[in-house]
A and B are shown apart, each in its own frame.
Chain A
Amino acid sequence: MDLDTQTDKELAALSAAGNEGAIAELLRRYERPIFSLVYRMVRDRALAEDLAQEAFIRAFNAVSSYDPRYKFSSWIFKIANNHTIDHLRRRKLDTVSIDGSPHARTAQEEQQTRLVVESTDENPEEYVENRELGDQIEQAIGTLRPEYRTAVLLRHVEGYAYEEIAEIMDLPLGTVKTYLHRARSELKGMLAHLTS
Chain B
Amino acid sequence: MAMKHPKTHLTAERIQAFLDDALSRDERADVQAHAASCGRCRAEVEDWQLLYSELGELAELSPASNFSERVLADLDTAIPAASGEKRVFGWLRRRAVRAAEHLDPERLQDYVEGLLPARQMARVSAHLDACGVCRSEEQQWRGLIQGIEQLPAMAPSSAFAGRVMSQVRIGQLVRPVAARSVARQALARAGRLIPRTQRAWAVISGIALTPITVSALLAYAVFSSPLVTPGGLASFLWWKISGGATALAGILADRLVESPIAFYAYSVLDLLAGTPALTALVAVSLAGATGLSGWVLYRNLMTTRGVDGNYARASV
Chain A positions within 8 Å of B, measured between CB atoms, are: 15-18, 20, 23-24, 27-28, 31-32, 35-36, 39-40, 48-49, 52-53, 56-67, 70, 74-75, 78-79, 82, 115-118, 120, 130, 133-134, 137-138, 141, 152, 156-157, 159, 162, 170, 180-181, 184-185, 187-188, 191, 194-196
Contacts and interface: CB of A to CB of B under 8 A. Distances in A.
A180 B109 contact: yes
Contacts of A74: 312
A61 B173 contact: yes
Given A28-B161, A181-B105, A65 B173 contact: no
A196 B153 CA distance: 26
- Residue from B148, B149, B174, B316 having most chain A Cβ neighbours under 10 A: B148
A18 B170 contact: yes
B109 A191 contact: no
**5 smallest A-B Cβ distances: which pairs?**
A62-B314, A58-B314, A67-B311, A117-B152, A156-B148
A193 to B, nearest CB: 11
Given A18-B173, A28-B161, A61-B173, A134 B106 contact: no
Given A18-B174, A57-B164, A64-B173, A194 B147 contact: yes
Contacts of A67: 311-312
A170 B313 CA distance: 11
Contact of A32 (B105, B144, B153): B153
A78 B105 CA distance: 29
A170 to B, nearest CB: 8
B147 A191 contact: yes
B107 to A, nearest CB: 10
B299 to A, nearest CB: 13
B301 to A, nearest CB: 14
Given A18-B171, A82-B313, A181-B109, A134 B152 contact: yes
B162 to A, nearest CB: 10
A137 B313 CA distance: 31
A79 B314 contact: yes
8 contacts: A16-B173, A18-B170, A27-B161, A31-B160, A35-B154, A57-B168, A67-B312, A137-B151
Contact of A49 (B156, B169, B304, B305): B156
B143 A194 contact: yes
B165 interface: yes
Contact of B163 (A35, A53, A141, A162): A53
A174 to B, nearest CB: 12
SS class, residues of chain A in contact with chain B: helix
Contacts of B168: 23, 56-57, 60-61
Given A27-B161, A52-B156, A62 B144 contact: no
B144 A188 contact: yes
Contacts of A31: 155-156, 160-161, 164
B163 A188 contact: no
B167 interface: yes
B15 to A, nearest CB: 38
A58 B313 CA distance: 9
B150 interface: yes
B312 to A, nearest CB: 4
B156 A61 contact: no
A147 to B, nearest CB: 16
A157 B115 CA distance: 18
Nearest to A74: B312
Contact of B151 (A48, A157, A170, A184): A157
A196 B147 CA distance: 13
Given A27-B164, A61-B168, A187-B144, 20 more contacts: A16-B173, A18-B170, A36-B154, A39-B154, A52-B160, A57-B164, A58-B316, A59-B314, A61-B173, A117-B152, A117-B154, A118-B153, A134-B147, A134-B150, A138-B151, A156-B148, A157-B148, A188-B144, A194-B143, A195-B141
